[in-house]
């Protein structure tokens, strides 16, 4: 909030100064946190940008611009210094810093949030969407944590967000799943029956078959696809619920691939006919091809094979068209990095359908590797094929699992140390952050036993919070809003894990230097309010990550 105030104030002055120099070009100057050896609150590089354009000494520009800042932003800026080759260091007034703390204390869990500013811009966030052919693995878990946390952040910022799981319950993979279950059913009574190597091998298929057999079902009357999808989907939903994730909507691929209208056509039939009619698709060798190269794809793609079978691409086109038809104007898809080559294809399809290509935002996330104390590990798994999300959550807990999945930018590979995630020490980042709230809560509880404490915010003398540690802590609390802004801009929640770890660092330095419960009731009251502000921000940040706030540890 403080940074935004300063930035808003400077932008107008910057443009005005440029115009006074006859410069109409636009510049994006940087308002940054200076190095630790500089006591200033912020630093800007504006003078160097202008000097380069005017071919003059940046120090001269810095001096002129600094004078303007002191004159026109005197309600925010206390002092200005010129450093190096023209950096302008800014010192914010204490009143501005204390005001930001009061705002946190008043707004609490609304601090930095927005009213539903984008109600007319409905957002559909589709993530996880794992095929219902087996349990979720750790890769799905990372996508789930990123998608759910990003949805929480966007909702906090006022977006009208719907979280959707796309259920791939049509196509050849479903036929293989049904047949896999049927063969396992037969093997319950006849172990001599061979099981094809290219069918689903997981033990969970055997469990489904055993359930059906225990129910004394007639093999000729069992819908093996339905039964298998039902059981697997229940497992997926249970695993997601234990991971603190619930979807607003589950969309079945059958709705676009199987369900027919009164004319006997599916949504895939109709969208392919439309593309053909608009010359965005063409027939060749008995197959229907999408003219995707017109929109930047490397080659044209098959929509319908010569045998009449539709491809996955055709189904995805129909699904995305359906998203727009349901009134969503911003689509966010979260996919594994192995879908990289699919991005241009789908974006091309959106434009072919007549929609804004920029309305579709695709986030790719990299794989997760599990380690134990720095050594690569392979956990036992009932599937025999991959490490399940459930196994990891059971070992390290939901909170550590989500926090660790969100430690890095989605497009960066993630190394997950299982032993570190279980440690009850400051080495473990999620413990480190959660411990801040627990320690604060302990101080607040102790402070409630004092009868000389001032509770009215307006009666608190916040100017007593004048140490470097206290000031730095308040500024970091205010930076919660900056973290919201960058998370929205980059469409990534990992900025909040970084922010909370940095906040914990600053808090622990404050705790070491500044005793909260003192003999001075006024100072104690002010510091207790600062502690309350820390608890508010830590709780808000952890809530956005889907991580619990613990009062005791």
Q: What is the pLDDT of residue 382?
A: 46
CA angle 402–551–109, rounded 5-degree value = 70
Residue 518: closest CA among 526, 509, 510: 526
Interatomic CA distance for residues 464 and 400, integer angstroms? 37
Give tens-digit pLDDT for 420-452: 999 999 999 999 999 999 999 999 999 999 999
Interhelix angle 224-242/172-187, rounded to 10 degrees, is 100
In the chain, % of residues over pLDDT 90: 80
In this structure, what token pair is assigned to residue 297?
């794809």
**Strand locations in 168-242 (E):** none
Q: What is the pLDDT of residue 157?
A: 94
In this structure, what token pair is assigned to residue 229?
């999808």
H/E run at residue 268: helix 267-277
Residue 234 confidence (pLDDT) above 90: yes
CA angle 384–176–231, rounded 5-degree value = 65
- The pTM for the full model equals 0.94
Domain boundaries, the chain: 2-92, 426-545
Give tens-digit pLDDT for 470-488: 999 999 999 999 999 999 9
What are the distances in angstroms from CA 189 to CA 201, 463, 532, 549?
A: 18, 80, 65, 51
pLDDT averaged over every residue in the chain: 93
For the domain covering 426-545, report its CATH number: 1.10.730.10
Residue 178: closest CA among 208, 218, 203: 208
Kindly state the average pLDDT of the residues 458-463. 97
In this structure, what token pair is assigned to residue 355?
């929609």
| CATH 3.30.1360.70 matches 2-92 | yes
Q: DSSP letter at 35? A: P
Find the Cα–Cα–Cα–Cα dihedral 320, 321, 325, 331, rounded to 10°.
Answer: 30
Q: What is the pLDDT of residue 383?
A: 47
Q: What is the pLDDT of residue 474?
A: 98
Confidence of residue 22 (pLDDT cuts 50, 70, 90): confident
**Strand locations in 72-155 (E):** 77-83, 87-92, 122-126
Interatomic CA distance for residues 399 and 410, integer angstroms? 18
Q: DSSP letter at 295? A: G
Neighbour-count burial of 259, counting CB atoms closer than 10 A to its CB (0-12 exposed, 13-18 middle, 19+ buried): exposed
Residue 117 confidence (pLDDT) above 80: no
Give tens-digit pLDDT for 165-214: 999 998 889 999 999 999 999 998 887 899 998 899 889 999 999 999 99
Residue 28 confidence (pLDDT) above 90: no
Residue 268: closest CA among 305, 311, 306, 225: 311
Residue 5 confidence (pLDDT) above 50: yes
Interatomic CA distance for residues 377 and 242, integer angstroms? 24
Kindly state the average pLDDT of the residues 358-377. 92
Looking at per-residue confidence, does 15 or 465 come out higher?
Answer: 465
H/E run at residue 132: none
Give tens-digit pLDDT for 377-417: 875 544 456 789 999 999 999 999 999 999 999 999 999 99
First to last CA, the chain: 31
Confidence of residue 30 (pLDDT cuts 50, 70, 90): confident
Domains 2-92 and 426-545 share a fold: no
Are the C-beta atoms of residues 372 and 419 closer than 8 Å to each other?
Answer: yes
In this structure, what token pair is assigned to residue 209?
């078959």
Give tens-digit pLDDT for 496-534: 999 999 999 999 999 999 999 999 999 999 999 999 999
Kindly state the average pLDDT of the residues 252-279. 95
Kindly state the average pLDDT of the residues 89-107. 97
Residue 62 confidence (pLDDT) above 80: yes
Determine the length of the chain. Answer: 553
Residue 343 confidence (pLDDT) above 70: yes
Q: What is the pLDDT of residue 447?
A: 95
Find the Cα–Cα–Cα–Cα dihedral 468, 457, 534, 544, rounded to 10°.
Answer: -140
Interatomic CA distance for residues 435 and 443, integer angstroms? 12
Neighbour-count burial of 508, counting CB atoms closer than 10 A to its CB (0-12 exposed, 13-18 middle, 19+ buried): middle
Are the C-beta atoms of residues 91 and 43 closer than 8 Å to each other?
Answer: no
Q: What is the pLDDT of residue 381?
A: 47
Are the C-beta atoms of residues 230 and 181 closer than 8 Å to each other?
Answer: no
């Amino acid at each position: 909030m403080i940074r935004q105030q300063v930035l808003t104030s400077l932008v107008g002055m910057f443009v005005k100064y440029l115009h006074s120099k006859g410069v109409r070009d636009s510049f994006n100057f940087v308002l940054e946190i200076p190095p630790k050896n500089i006591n200033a609150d912020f630093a800007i590089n504006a003078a160097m940008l202008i000097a380069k354009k005017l071919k003059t000494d940046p120090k001269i520009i810095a001096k002129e611009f600094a004078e303007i800042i002191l004159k026109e932003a005197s309600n925010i800026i206390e002092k200005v210094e010129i450093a190096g080759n023209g950096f302008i260091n800014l010192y914010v007034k204490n009143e501005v810093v204390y005001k930001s703390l009061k705002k946190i204390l008043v707004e609490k869990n609304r601090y930095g949030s927005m009213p539903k500013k984008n109600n007319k811009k409905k957002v559909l966030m589709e993530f996880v969407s794992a095929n219902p052919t087996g349990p979720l693995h750790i890769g799905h878990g990372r996508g789930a944590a990123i998608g759910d946390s990003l949805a929480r952040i966007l909702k906090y910022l006022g977006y009208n967000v719907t979280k959707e799981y796309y259920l791939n319950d049509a196509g050849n993979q479903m036929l293989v799943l049904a047949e896999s279950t049927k063969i396992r059913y037969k093997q319950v009574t006849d172990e001599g029956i061979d099981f094809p190597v290219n069918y689903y091998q997981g033990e969970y298929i055997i469990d489904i078959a055993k359930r059906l057999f225990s129910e004394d079902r007639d093999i000729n009357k069992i819908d093996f696809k339905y039964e298998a999808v039902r059981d697997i989907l229940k497992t997926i939903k249970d695993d997601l619920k234990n991971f603190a994730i619930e979807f607003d909507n589950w969309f079945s691929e059958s709705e676009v691939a199987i369900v027919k209208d009164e004319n006997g056509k599916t949504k895939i039939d109709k969208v392919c006919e439309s593309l053909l009619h608009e010359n965005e698709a063409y027939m060749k060798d008995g197959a229907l091809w999408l003219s995707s190269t017109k929109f930047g794809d490397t080659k044209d793609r098959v929509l319908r094979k010569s045998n009449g079978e539709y491809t996955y691409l055709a189904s995805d086109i129909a699904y995305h068209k359906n998203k727009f038809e349901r009134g969503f104007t911003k689509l966010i898809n979260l996919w594994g990095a192995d879908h990289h080559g699919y991005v241009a294809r789908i974006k091309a399809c959106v434009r072919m359908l007549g929609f804004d290509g920029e309305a579709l935002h695709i986030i790719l996330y990299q794989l997760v590797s599990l380690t134990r104390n720095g050594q690569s590990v392979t956990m036992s798994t009932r599937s025999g094929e991959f490490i399940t999300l459930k196994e990891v959550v059971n070992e390290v807990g939901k909170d550590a699992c989500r926090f660790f999945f969100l430690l890095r930018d989605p497009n960066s590979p993630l190394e997950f140390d299982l032993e570190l995630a279980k440690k009850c020490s400051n080495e473990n980042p999620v413990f480190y952050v959660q411990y801040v709230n627990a320690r604060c809560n302990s101080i607040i509880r102790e402070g409630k036993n004092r009868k000389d404490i001032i509770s009215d915010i307006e009666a608190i003398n916040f100017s007593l919070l004048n140490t470097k540690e206290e000031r730095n802590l308040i500024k970091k609390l205010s930076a919660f809003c900056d973290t919201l802004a960058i998370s929205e801009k980059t469409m990534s929640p990992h900025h909040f894990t970084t922010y909370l770890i940095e906040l914990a660092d600053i808090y622990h330095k404050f705790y070491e230097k500044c005793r909260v419960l003192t003999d001075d009731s006024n100072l104690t009251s002010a510091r207790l309010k600062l502690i309350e502000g820390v608890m508010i921000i830590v709780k808000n940040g952890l809530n956005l990550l889907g991580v619990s706030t613990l009062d005791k540890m």
